[in-house]
Structure 1
Amino acid sequence: MDDTPRLHTAGTAPLERARDLRALIDRDATQAEAQGRLTDAVVDALHESGLFGICVPAPLGGAELSPRELMDVLEELSYADPSTGWVVMATTLANGTGGAYLGDDAVERIFAGPRTPLIAGQGTRPGVAVREDGGFRLSGQWGFASGMLHAQYSHSLGIVEGTDEGRIFVTPLDDVKQLGNWDVLGLRATGSIDYTIDDVFVPESRSHVFDTNEPLRGGALYRLGIVDHALICHSSWALGVGRRLLDELVRHVGARAGRPGQIAGSDAFHTDFARAEARYRAAKALVHETWDDAERTLAAGGRLDVRQETMVRLALNHATSTLAEVAGFVYISGGTSALRDGLIQRLFRDVHAGTQHITSGPQVLRECGRELAGLAPGETWSLFVLGA
């Protein structure tokens, strides 16, 4: 009997529920930015619609969307509001991978409630874990815990002392000291605060190897591992925000068409808008083509090869750099209306916060070029670098 995990699909219902929330999310976005967290109404609506469970394994009651289904939902939520899309992608990544990889004891406790648990934290800058009977002692300081103000658990990378093994540790928020230092250019409503954990015992079942891609429950989605899952999330976010920027510029220009001296009558603007639209659509096509290919591999019971791993990283990097170009064009074209406090200004700031994420860094692009040029024979991807 073939027990290879197969790709689970959920259909269009989650995307339709996300679209139904667009008006509410858009309405509350300004208030959310002012208070540094999503509004209670939006969080409750996301829970009630099941959208915090889009990555949770189906055996635990989640939707377990396929990569392309997941992309569509996250694009829609990020279009409605970049901060909302960011919080959902960050927490659902941790919820989903936790549900797939944590031990049975942990899963039975964490996923026991009527609502999908929210797990938030940081998986790049590690703390230190010391092995102890039955588990580990974890200490450290982590940054950029997106969604932690709405979470019940933290998800933190630690390096095990003596073995250098990287593990993810999931701990109740009672074990976390939140530093509350989210004073930034954009994505203010994500509440991506720093936090510390000081010598907290974490049972073995509440941890898993960082780079595991063998799920204990759920299907082929979880054979991607945490990093590739993050690439899906950030690619979707970039595409959703890019589309919203261009659509807002269309509305801005259209409302002023026919007035003397307005940009709507500029031949140069018409040409530049066509180029921006083409760049965005080309980036989107690359992302979707790349993940369509990856999804076919997963559906057939396979794993991504090195070239596919290169392409999903390259597609995200290209989408992110294209988003920055589009945001700059929209900001300049918006004139003084973009300069003042308002939607275009907020979108511009959110973009330039999102582009700072490690998944879209310059090192990744260099490594992609090296592999595509045939200069990395026998090397494989480890996080964002290639090695033998």
Structure 2
Amino acid sequence: MTQGLARPETGAGDSGDYVARARDIAPIINAEADGMEDLRGVSPAVVAALREQRIFWMLVPREWGGGGLGIVETFKVIEELARADGSTGWVMMANVSGTGVAAGYLGDAGARVLFAGPDKGIIAGMFLPVGRGVRVEGGYRVTGKYGFASGSGHASWMGAGFAVYDEDGNPETSVDGSPVHRLGFVPRDEVKFLGGWNVMGMVATGSDDYSVTEVFVPEARTMDTFSTTPVRSEAVYSLGLVAMAVGGHGPVALGIARRALEEVAHIAAVKTRPGYPSVIGDNDMFRREFATHEALLQAARRYVYEVCAEAEAQAAAGGVSDVQRARLRQAVTWVVGVARDIVNWAFNWGGSASIRNPSVLGRCLRDISVGATHMMVEPMTMVEAAGPILATYLED
């Protein structure tokens, strides 16, 4: 029997426990959601609930007090949070993937500073190497301006990607001639926050700009920006930085689309329109379209989690294939498009209930519209994914 989307099935590990935790705090998120748009960030009450339920550290190893979850289990929790509020789901995608990258790819000494103690770090920030780091004794002097720091309002550590230069100002290169890029983690009190997040959707993500100026970052708190070789043995880290960072867009979109269907179903149960003999929920056209869009969401959800599960299984067996990495990009980009279409459909059927603030459907539309413009899910990702996938159709 097919399960309804309001209750996603749980997988292996502790996902059932963590999904239940996300559901437990959903009422708090719902109550805070409209105010968080005015705040332009996740509210202290929601942050406190996420901390209490240990959700920030789902991808941190269990030996350091984290959840030790796999990628599928983690994404199901993010989906549930996005169902409550798109911005909250997005922030958790950013914070959780950031902590996962640091835990899995940062050297053991640096990662323990961030996560092994009782006051575990929360990561936010830009990992791309847009800054400049001068190599000095014991580490780097880093300067740079960064943007799109989702979840920075409550983060304790900020990522700062940089290209490496020597003390004479010459860029360092690796043996193959490519530039040396590093990612450093900087304590919050050494970062200057610049604001700048004035947008139409995903408002409460607080994705502000920030800068660092001549900040010393010890070598132990840096890692190769584009590393695909984790320092830990858990399969989830072998998925690579791109898979961990990109994949989370899928469950955010799923959660927003699920919420939009729930909202329009409740609206349709009581809403009347001129020319309709009864409430619009009794209308054959509405019912046919609802069933069609709900089927699309069911299919998209299953494909996303199937692809993620297969990639994690390959990682556990020794390595993720190029085809599977391509399918990850394909699945995530596709599901965001599906979710956007579902939300648009629900918003239109909501009529005046969609446009009168506060409106959950209005927030869903704004959030999915902004989320769908992200560079990680823009149309060129499908072009890039097509090569390896197309090749499988040309095999004998």
User: Residue 4 of structure 1 corresponds to which residue in structure 2?
Assistant: none
Q: Distance in 2 between matches of 1:149 and 1:165?
A: 30
User: Residue 54 of structure 2 corresponds to which residue in structure 1?
Assistant: 50
| Higher deviation after alignment, 158-167 or 330-339 | 158-167
User: Residue 127 of structure 2 corresponds to which residue in structure 1?
Assistant: 123
Decide whether aligned partners of structure 1 residues 170 and 272 sit closer, same or farther in structure 2, where only a CA change above 3 A counts: same
User: Residue 168 of structure 2 corresponds to which residue in structure 1?
Assistant: none
Decide whether aligned partners of structure 1 residues 352 and 258 sit closer, same or farther in structure 2, where only a CA change above 3 A counts: closer
Decide whether aligned partners of structure 1 residues 130 and 335 sit closer, same or farther in structure 2, where only a CA change above 3 A counts: same
Contact 2:15 2:76 in 1 (8 A): no
Residue 63 of structure 2 aligns with an amino acid whose one-letter code is P
Contact 1:177 1:195 in 2 (8 A): yes
TM-score by length of 1: 0.89
Whether 1:272 and 2:289 are equivalent positions in the alignment is yes
Contact 2:158 2:188 in 1 (8 A): yes
User: Residue 172 of structure 2 corresponds to which residue in structure 1?
Assistant: 162
Q: Distance in 1 between matches of 2:309 and 2:122?
A: 28
Q: Distance in 2 between matches of 1:227 and 1:144?
A: 17
Decide whether aligned partners of structure 1 residues 251 and 125 sit closer, same or farther in structure 2, where only a CA change above 3 A counts: farther
Which of 321, 327, 338 is equivalent to 1:305? Answer: 321
Alpha-carbon deviation of 1:106?
Answer: 2.4
Contact 1:125 1:142 in 2 (8 A): no
Alpha-carbon deviation of 1:258?
Answer: 9.4
Alpha-carbon deviation of 1:375?
Answer: 9.7
Q: Distance in 1 between matches of 2:34 and 2:202?
A: 11
Which of 187, 196, 205 is equivalent to 1:181? Answer: 196
Q: Distance in 2 between matches of 1:180 and 1:293?
A: 40
Contact 1:91 1:118 in 2 (8 A): yes
> Could you list the runs of 5+ residues in structure 2 that have no partner in the other structure?
1-11, 165-170, 174-178
Whether 1:59 and 2:63 are equivalent positions in the alignment is yes
| Higher deviation after alignment, 44-53 or 106-115 | 106-115
Contact 1:59 1:217 in 2 (8 A): no
SS for the counterpart of 2:133 is: strand
Q: Distance in 1 between matches of 2:301 and 2:111?
A: 36
Q: Distance in 1 between matches of 2:180 and 2:336?
A: 31
Contact 1:57 1:218 in 2 (8 A): no
Contact 2:128 2:162 in 1 (8 A): no
Q: Distance in 2 between matches of 1:239 and 1:252?
A: 20
Decide whether aligned partners of structure 1 residues 298 and 162 sit closer, same or farther in structure 2, where only a CA change above 3 A counts: closer
Contact 2:40 2:206 in 1 (8 A): yes
Alpha-carbon deviation of 1:142?
Answer: 1.2
What do the CA deviations read for 1:146-186 (whole angstroms, capped 9, x no partner)? 01010111012222232212221100112211111110011
User: Residue 380 of structure 1 corresponds to which residue in structure 2?
Assistant: none
> Could you list the runs of 5+ residues in structure 1 that have no partner in the other structure?
1-7, 378-388
Residue 354 of structure 1 aligns with an amino acid whose one-letter code is G
Q: Distance in 2 between matches of 1:102 and 1:370?
A: 32
Whether 1:353 and 2:370 are equivalent positions in the alignment is yes
Whether 1:283 and 2:293 are equivalent positions in the alignment is no
What do the CA deviations read for 1:274-317 (whole angstroms, capped 9, x no partner)? 22112222211211221221232233x32110110010110001
Q: Distance in 1 between matches of 2:244 and 2:297?
A: 22
Whether 1:363 and 2:367 are equivalent positions in the alignment is no
Percent of aligned positions that are identical = 34
SS for the counterpart of 1:149 is: coil
User: Residue 354 of structure 2 corresponds to which residue in structure 1?
Assistant: 338
Q: Distance in 1 between matches of 2:216 and 2:47?
A: 30
Alpha-carbon deviation of 1:123?
Answer: 2.2
Q: Distance in 2 between matches of 1:362 and 1:376?
A: 21
Which of 133, 140, 143 is equivalent to 1:139? Answer: 143
Contact 2:71 2:312 in 1 (8 A): yes
TM-score by length of 2: 0.88
How many residues get paired?
A: 369
Contact 1:60 1:99 in 2 (8 A): no
What do the CA deviations read for 1:62-119 (whole angstroms, capped 9, x no partner)? 1121121112111111111111111111111111211222234423332254233111
Q: Distance in 2 between matches of 1:167 and 1:254?
A: 54
User: Residue 241 of structure 2 corresponds to which residue in structure 1?
Assistant: 226
Q: Distance in 2 between matches of 1:215 and 1:59?
A: 17
Decide whether aligned partners of structure 1 residues 105 and 291 sit closer, same or farther in structure 2, where only a CA change above 3 A counts: closer
Q: Distance in 2 between matches of 1:376 and 1:274?
A: 32
After superposition, residues 200-211 of structure 1 pair within 5 angstroms as 200-211=215-226
